[in-house]
A and B are shown apart, each in its own frame.
Chain A
Amino acid sequence: MAKGGPEYDIDINRKRNMSDMEIIKRLLRYVKPFIKPLIIAFVLVLIVVGLDLLGPLFIAEVLDALGEDNIPIVKIIVIVVIYLVALFVGAFLSYKQTIILQVTGQKIIYDIRQDVFEHIERLSISQYNQIPIGKLVTRVTSDVDTLNMLYTDVIISLIRDVLTLVGVFVIMFIKSPILALYILALTPAIFLVSYVFRKFSRKAYRRVRTNVSIINAFLSEHLSGMKLIQIFNREDKKYKEFVEKNKKLNHSHYQRVLAFSLYRPSIYLLYIAAIIIILWEGSYQVIDGVISFGVLFAFTQYINRFFQPIQNLAEQFDTLQSAFTSGERIFDILDTKPIITDSPDAIELNNFRGKIEFKNVWFAYNEGEWVLRDVSFVVQPKETMALVGATGSGKTTIISLIVRNYDIQQGEILIDDINIKDIKLDSLRKNIGQMLQDVFLFSGTIESNIRLRDESITDAEILEACKYVNADQFIQKLPEKYDEPVRERGNNFSSGQKQLLSFARTLVHKPSLMILDEATANIDTETEKLIQESLKKMMNIGTTIVVAHRLSTIQHADQIIVMRKGKIIEMGNHQELLKQKGHYFQLYKLQYDKNISDNLDLINMNI
């Protein structure tokens, strides 16, 4: 399986294949089911922004009332009370709105995540071997999370900011068209500064991201290759390389700081300019009696609310960019279709007997590099077939073809005389029990690893299966017995124990056909004996195909196939093959040379 671990993608700035529009369109598809709450949220935002914008007007009213010769104190109290009420209502609606939006955003994220996971889960084994697991995990986890920001933060603040901008302008225009137009005249400058900043900061941001990725990739590689660096005395040189990369990273961070250091104060400068315009022209207007001084003060407050949204908009651009990048990655994986699929008229396997036939099968993982060449054999129901041969001779490939992890290029594979391409994949695999060479255990308990979430399996069945395959003995010795925790990848169990658990797991799911890739790992003699015993029993249950490394396993087979470079070179049962005096005979002779010490086991039929 491909190497996992987190992904340090240096190609972060590569050009995207999908256009922004395309990504937005596809992202919006997930929004569709939630259109109603989103409309509600939108209406609420409208009210919230409106109420918020009333604030300075209330203050203006109070100030102007205070300016009257006879201060109308009751009126002031009424205004203050209304203001307070508006605040409460505003806060309440704002809370409602945020929650609706966030909850909806989370629901959308849930949907996307579920989609991505389901999709990846259904990809074919060969695709898993092509894409690093780390990348697949990132799609489901952080990439989806990046989108979260888009749905909850970016979109709504975009709406809020635009509404505020328009609202402020409208109010200013109503109160004093001339002042409003003056401020409007300033906006091109604001947009220009923001535009320049956006260009500059985007570049800086990209550089930061690239350099972060580079340095993380370097770290990840060199921390795992530290042994080599030390052995070759390359610490100093590698340190220099690291500092070089770190310098670049530091430099890009500095550029980003510089971008913000120029932008934020520039916007402040424009803010001051706006304040000056308002105070200057506004004071004249007050003196000329066009507006009240309360309104003038309100204007100074509105200016604040005018600049904030623009600043937000400019700064949110980075978030938007990374959301698009993540979006594209997600859609890329969603567009990767599983290679092995059911044909439209595929059938269910009923009353499975367990006959397997290979008819002139040719297979290559990569075009032109044949791994199986013209392989033909028949295994009758309930028979056991052992595959023998050197590493790379094609044994393991044969068993992965039976469960249709790959499709063959030429020939036919028949199960109960039906071509496996015409059998529903689920139905095929449900009938076949697979025991793979590297037993994978999930973190959980022994019980959960045998049951594998199939709630129809009873505890009694699990116990029975474990007893049958001799796993019960060691399980009973564990402190928690069947509830003994299994750590990540099952590394608290020996490979022999894992092997037994894998037998039990297969058995409890009642397969009609079993395929087994015998472990080559060193297993202590005692466990080895238990494994041999249970194997013998299991072979009697149904059709069994074994990639065999141990002589005793092979001897009990009804049929033995000796493979070499993807071809069958000898075929027959134990006795027949001995008579042939071919490769098998020589192997056997070697194994049973009684003069050899007990260490014989170590060079078992591991060929």
Chain B
Amino acid sequence: MLFGKHINKYYLKYGIFFLIGLAALVVVDFVQLEIPNIIGTIIDGLELKTLAKEDVVVFVKDIAIFGLIIVGGRFLWRIFIFGTSWRIDFDLRNKMFAHAEKLSQTYYSEKKSGGLMALFINDLNAIRMAFGPGLLMLFDIIILGTLAFYRMFTLDRTITYFAAIPLALIAVMATYISKITGKKFKARQQAFEDLSDFTQENFYGISVIKAFVNEVREIRAFAKINKRNQDKNVSYIKASTFLHIAVEMFINIIRVTMLGVGAYLVYKTINTNDVFSIGDLTRYIAYFGTLIWPMMAIGRLINMRAQAKASLDRVSAFLNAEVEIHDEKEVVNVEKIEGKITFNNLTFRYPKTEKDVLKNINFVIEKGQTVGIIGRTGSGKTTLVDLLLRLYNLKTCELLIDDTDIMKLPIKTIRDAIGYVPQENFIFSDVIRNNISFAKDEADQELIKQMAIYSDIHDNIVDFPNQYDTMVGERGVTLSGGQKQRISIARALLKNPEILIMDDSFSAVDTKTEEQVISNLRELRKGKTTIIIAHRISTIKSSDQIIFIENGEVMAKGTHEELLKSCELYRKMVIHQRLEAELEGEVE
């Protein structure tokens, strides 16, 4: 049985189901052992020729009744034990996803999503197995084992010792053995993982391989790894087959020895008071037969438990991961965010890093202003807006929204007030309609269309065969980068937010479209705060304020005209970009 902080409550929650299942199991195990008993009686009757044909009918009727009880019992324990294990799987999976939603971006940047997926796929399954087949095996070993032994014992003590001692040895052996095979199994897993890694890296680096005409060498290298994988497999299989067959053989030898010893007992006691009848011998053989499975199950159970334990540890570590971003104990509840933003000598470094990515940032965005932020890749622009979205924790009063410390505002209030167009356009594999109305549960078709028009994507959408109901992704239309970007803009606009943040949202859009969207924005965003991060100066030229960021610091701020006068680098960028545009042939 598996215990842990996050799963103990399931024993309570589903205790009644497990109890019903276990009760059914006890009944099945008990009744199951009655059948050899009846067969033994029939054999005895036949041998002694005391059995009349009428009696047979009575016995057969008993077997039929027992059989039906077993059928019912087996049905019940399967439903209640296995079914409940799936309920736990369901609950735990929900719980894990809910926790995943609370974890910070810091967590996600540290952990690979593949590892998180493994938690949901492999580890959850291992835990479920411990609750389903694991619990079943545990109780079957205990109940069936005890009952069968008890019955054997009452039949004859001596030969039970004969049976019990080697059986115990086998159980120990099987346990020990499963450790050895466990090791070989791990080696085999490792070999497979290596093979997988090699293949993946090779395919990712295919351009280098082709460039150096290294295909043949790579194929040879793969052959080696492939061979190693084969060898490890064979080695595991050899060990496990050997052990499996050896154990089976041992059990069969005991069984045959029992037959011999039992036969001898029959022979010996034939004319005594304490007769060991032929029927007893058949009973004995049958009881012994039922013992085999519990004995073999011990090793498997131990293995399964070890795996489940390791998985539970991983899942627990995940569920225990601290939720770093949360509301402060005392929050300032505001009715409505107006959109004034103040950076007050803000200095920031990512958690667990040593370098400040933003240094002494000071500027104010008044409500209703449009602000452009420019700077090189890696200068800290995206970090700046990530902070505004409260994706990270800040020191007191470094960043204020409507003159209130961002740390004091409820996260939901902040994020509800912000419309955000991310740099990497993440579009969900859903229909376009739902992607645009992502921010709202129910959005009016007219509104969706309006936003699509503002973002200059409507015309593209109506060209798709299913228009707004076009599925994006694998089986639907694959969107171009520019289309994704514009859908992503529509998605943010639909919120009609007090603050709109566009992080390099026009990189994949041609200048003409960009100008169209910008001019739409000007109308739409009147009186509302808009922050535009851009590479192209044309995007932000008409902003009320332009912030030029370099190496995490504000290098210059002001309007386009002011910066042209005051900042060399800015002017240089302007000329350069004009030339570039000319080369692209899009500007006269």
Residues on A lying within 8 angstroms of B by beta carbon are 1, 4-6, 10-11, 58-59, 62-63, 65-67, 71, 73, 76-77, 80, 83-84, 87-88, 91, 94-95, 98-99, 102-103, 106-107, 109-110, 113-114, 117-118, 120-122, 125, 128, 133, 136-137, 140-141, 145, 215-217, 219-235, 237-239, 242-243, 246-247, 249-250, 253-254, 257-258, 260-262, 264-266, 268-269, 272-273, 275-276, 279-280, 283-284, 286-287, 293, 296-297, 300, 389-390, 392-393, 403, 405, 426, 429-430, 432-434, 436, 440, 442-443, 452-454, 488-489, 505, 509, 522, 562, 564-565, 583, 586-587, 590, 593, 595-597, 599-600, 602-603, 607
Q: How far is the CA of A426 from the CA of B15 in the complex (A)?
A: 68
The 10 closest A-B CB pairs, nearest first, are A272-B67, A261-B78, A434-B211, A91-B249, A80-B260, A293-B46, A250-B90, A453-B217, A235-B101, A265-B71
Are A586 and B100 within 8 A (Cβ)? no
Knowing that A102-B241, A276-B60 touch, tell me 7 more A-B residue pairs with CB under 8 angstroms: A71-B266, A219-B97, A231-B389, A403-B210, A403-B211, A562-B583, A607-B580
Chain B, residue nearest A292 (CB) = B46
Are B237 and A452 within 8 A (Cβ)? no
**Chain B's nearest CB lies how many Å from the CB of A230?**
7
Q: How far is the CA of A264 from the CA of B211 in the complex (A)?
A: 58
Contacting residues of chain B (133-178) with chain A, CB-CB under 8 angstroms: none
**Chain B's nearest CB lies how many Å from the CB of A123?**
8
B101-114 near A? 1/0 per residue, CB < 8 Å: 11101001000011
Give the residues in chain A near B218, CB-CB below 8 Å. 121, 453
B53-88 near A? 1/0 per residue, CB < 8 Å: 100110110011001101110110011001100110
Q: How far is the CA of A133 from the CA of B120 in the complex (A)?
A: 22
Are A268 and B200 within 8 A (Cβ)? no
Are B208 and A136 within 8 A (Cβ)? no
B205 within 8 A of A: yes
Give the residues in chain A near B102, CB-CB below 8 Å. 235
Give the residues in chain B near A219, CB-CB below 8 Å. 97, 116-117, 120
Are B87 and A443 within 8 A (Cβ)? no
B569 within 8 A of A: yes
Are A141 and B196 within 8 A (Cβ)? yes
Q: How far is the CA of A95 from the CA of B240 in the complex (A)?
A: 10
Are A232 and B439 within 8 A (Cβ)? yes
Q: How far is the CA of A318 from the CA of B469 in the complex (A)?
A: 35
Are A442 and B201 within 8 A (Cβ)? yes
Q: How far is the CA of A505 from the CA of B207 in the complex (A)?
A: 14
Instruction: Please name 24 pairs of A and B residues whose Cβ atoms are closer than 8 Å in the assembled complex, sorted by A.
Output: A4-B200, A4-B204, A5-B114, A63-B43, A63-B278, A63-B282, A66-B263, A66-B281, A84-B256, A91-B249, A133-B200, A133-B203, A225-B426, A226-B103, A231-B389, A233-B412, A265-B71, A284-B53, A433-B211, A442-B205, A590-B579, A597-B568, A602-B376, A607-B576
Q: How far is the CA of A452 from the CA of B221 in the complex (A)?
A: 11
Are A1 and B204 within 8 A (Cβ)? yes
Interface of B is mostly: helix
Chain B, residue nearest A286 (CB) = B46
Q: How far is the CA of A110 from the CA of B575 in the complex (A)?
A: 61
Are B584 and A390 within 8 A (Cβ)? yes
Instruction: Evaluate whether A276 and B583 lie within 8 angstroms (CB atoms) in the complex, with A225-B428, A443-B201 already known.
Output: no
Chain A, residue nearest B422 (CB) = A228
**Chain B's nearest CB lies how many Å from the CB of A568?**
13
Are A522 and B376 within 8 A (Cβ)? yes
Give the residues in chain A near B46, CB-CB below 8 Å. 283, 286-287, 293, 296
Q: How far is the CA of A494 from the CA of B61 in the complex (A)?
A: 82
Are A279 and B39 within 8 A (Cβ)? yes
Instruction: Evaluate whether A599 and B267 lie within 8 angstroms (CB atoms) in the complex, with A219-B117, A233-B416 already known.
Output: no
Are B569 and A596 within 8 A (Cβ)? yes
> Which one of B102, B282, B422, B495 has the greatest number of beta carbons of chain A within 10 Å?
B282
Give the residues in chain B near A238, CB-CB below 8 Å. 101
B516 within 8 A of A: no
B477 within 8 A of A: no
Query: Per a CB cutoff under 8 Å, which of B63, B259, B572 touches A603?
Result: B572
Interface of A is mostly: helix
Are B376 and A280 within 8 A (Cβ)? no
Instruction: Evaluate whether A234 and B580 lie within 8 angstroms (CB atoms) in the complex, with A247-B90, A279-B56 already known.
Output: no
> Which one of A87, A117, A249 has the greatest number of beta carbons of chain B within 10 Å?
A117
> Which one of B71, B79, B210, B412 has the greatest number of beta carbons of chain A within 10 Å?
B210
B561 within 8 A of A: no
Q: How far is the CA of A241 from the CA of B73 in the complex (A)?
A: 37
Contacting residues of chain B (531-588) with chain A, CB-CB under 8 angstroms: 550, 568-569, 572-573, 575-576, 579-580, 582-585
Contacting residues of chain B (261-282) with chain A, CB-CB under 8 angstroms: 263-264, 266-267, 270, 278, 281-282
**Chain B's nearest CB lies how many Å from the CB of A588?**
11
Q: How far is the CA of A140 from the CA of B87 in the complex (A)?
A: 35
Query: Per a CB cutoff under 8 Å, which of B200, B257, B267, B439 touches A71?
Result: B267
**Chain A's nearest CB lies how many Å from the CB of B403?**
23
Query: Per a CB cutoff under 8 Å, which of B248, B263, B585 touches A76?
Result: B263
Give the residues in chain B near A602, CB-CB below 8 Å. 376
Are A120 and B53 within 8 A (Cβ)? no
Q: How far is the CA of A176 from the CA of B361 in the complex (A)?
A: 97
Are B230 and A110 within 8 A (Cβ)? yes
Are B208 and A454 within 8 A (Cβ)? no
Chain A, residue nearest B132 (CB) = A257
Give the residues in chain A near B229, CB-CB below 8 Å. 110
Q: How far is the CA of A5 from the CA of B116 in the complex (A)?
A: 13
Are A389 and B82 within 8 A (Cβ)? no
**Chain B's nearest CB lies how many Å from the CB of A41?**
13
Query: Per a CB cutoff under 8 Å, which of A221, A237, A426, A562 touches B441?
Result: A237
Are B259 and A83 within 8 A (Cβ)? yes
Q: How far is the CA of A583 from the CA of B580 in the complex (A)?
A: 9
Chain A, residue nearest B195 (CB) = A141
Are B585 and A297 within 8 A (Cβ)? no
Query: Per a CB cutoff under 8 Å, which of B89, B195, B259, B583 touches A393?
Result: B583
Chain A, residue nearest B260 (CB) = A80
Are B422 and A599 within 8 A (Cβ)? no
Are A293 and B575 within 8 A (Cβ)? no
Are B199 and A140 within 8 A (Cβ)? yes
Are A117 and B199 within 8 A (Cβ)? yes
Instruction: Evaluate whether A599 and B204 lie within 8 angstroms (CB atoms) in the complex, with A6-B117, A223-B113, A403-B211 already known.
Output: no
Q: How far is the CA of A370 from the CA of B87 in the complex (A)?
A: 57
Are A223 and B210 within 8 A (Cβ)? no
Give the residues in chain B near A120, CB-CB below 8 Å. 203
**Chain B's nearest CB lies how many Å from the CB of A491?**
12
**Chain B's nearest CB lies how many Å from the CB of A211?**
12
Chain A, residue nearest B78 (CB) = A261
B253 within 8 A of A: yes
Instruction: Evaluate whether A269 and B67 lie within 8 angstroms (CB atoms) in the complex, with A121-B219, A231-B415, A443-B201 already known.
Output: yes
Are A243 and B101 within 8 A (Cβ)? no
Are A583 and B583 within 8 A (Cβ)? yes
**Chain B's nearest CB lies how many Å from the CB of A406?**
12
> Which one of B43, B227, B418 has the greatest number of beta carbons of chain A within 10 Å?
B43
Q: How far is the CA of A95 from the CA of B204 in the complex (A)?
A: 42
B271-300 near A? 1/0 per residue, CB < 8 Å: 000000010011001000000000000000
Are A109 and B196 within 8 A (Cβ)? no
B520 within 8 A of A: no
Give the residues in chain B near A91, CB-CB below 8 Å. 245-246, 248-249, 252
Chain B, residue nearest A258 (CB) = B79
Q: How far is the CA of A430 from the CA of B204 in the complex (A)?
A: 20
**Chain A's nearest CB lies how many Å from the CB of B115?**
10
> Which one of A65, A91, A217 has the greatest number of beta carbons of chain B within 10 Å?
A91
Contacting residues of chain B (174-215) with chain A, CB-CB under 8 angstroms: 192, 195-197, 199-215
Instruction: Evaluate whether A429 and B211 lie within 8 angstroms (CB atoms) in the complex, with A284-B53, A300-B39, A597-B569 already known.
Output: yes
Query: Per a CB cutoff under 8 Å, which of A216, A266, A268, A454 touches B217?
Result: A454
Q: How far is the CA of A509 from the CA of B82 in the complex (A)?
A: 61
Give the residues in chain B near A67, CB-CB below 8 Å. 47, 278
> Which one of A88, A120, A223, A509 has the greatest number of beta carbons of chain B within 10 Å?
A223
Q: How far is the CA of A443 from the CA of B238 in the complex (A)?
A: 32
